[in-house]
Amino acid sequence: MATEEASSTLPSYPDMIMEAIDALNEEEGSNKSAIWRQIEGTHGTLPPAHGTLLAHHLNQMKQAGQLVMLKNNYMKPNPNAPPRRGRGRPPKPKASVPVPDGYPRPRGRPPKERAPYAPITVPMKKTATESSSGGSGKKRGRPRKYPMTEDNPVAVGVVEVPVKPIGTPRGRGRPPKVKTPVAATVGA
């Protein structure tokens, strides 16, 4: 309860930080430990998480532009100083694009512009063979070595020669290395 009463009587951290910086009145600004000691000396009892709260509020005030940090020292910003730019090249100004009223832009690539008096062409319907194979009339992938026709399952332009397999058919890949039998040495 003592901590709750102490924290309720304390002013807000941004107010305490600004009071401490004003009281220290250092030309080069005040570092975090000097601000800490000033707040501790002025207000006496502080919450146990005072260090964390002080660091958090100093960073928040720095991000908001209420404080300026220079060489690890915090100071009030000079009202006559020009605004500080961030690092790197500034972004290009964005051109305002008129948004059509009523609905957002449609997905996909926009259609090509055409002449106003040009005749409108209607796309032809796809046949069953075109729609199943992707539309171009050709099958996907690498073409067969010997193309087949629908009426003749034998390859066109290839003469059929009956070949009788001798032995076992060859398998895929590199054949295994042949091991030569080692002749036994004849004892002397």
Token look-up 């004003």 returns: 22
3.20.20.140, 1.25.40.10, 1.10.357.10, 1.10.10.10: which CATH number matches 13-75? Answer: 1.10.10.10
Domain boundaries, given as residue ranges, for the chain: 13-75
Q: How far apart are CA 98 and CA 115, in angstroms?
A: 23
Position 105, amino acid:
R
Length of the chain: 188
Band the pLDDT of 56: cuts 50, 70, 90.
very high
pLDDT digits (tens, 9 = 90+) for 98-131: 666 666 777 888 888 888 887 877 777 666 555 5
Band the pLDDT of 57: cuts 50, 70, 90.
very high
pLDDT above 50 for 5: no
CB neighbours of residue 21 within 10 Å: 20
pLDDT above 60 for 1: no
Average pLDDT estimate for 67-88: 81
Please give, one letter per residue, the 3-state secondary structure of 163-185: CCCCCCCCCCCCCCCCCCCCCCC
pLDDT above 80 for 161: no
pLDDT above 70 for 164: no
pLDDT at 126 (0 to 100): 62
Band the pLDDT of 4: cuts 50, 70, 90.
very low
Among 74, 50, 72, 71, CA closest to 62: 74
Among 88, 92, 13, 86, CA closest to 53: 13
pLDDT above 60 for 153: no
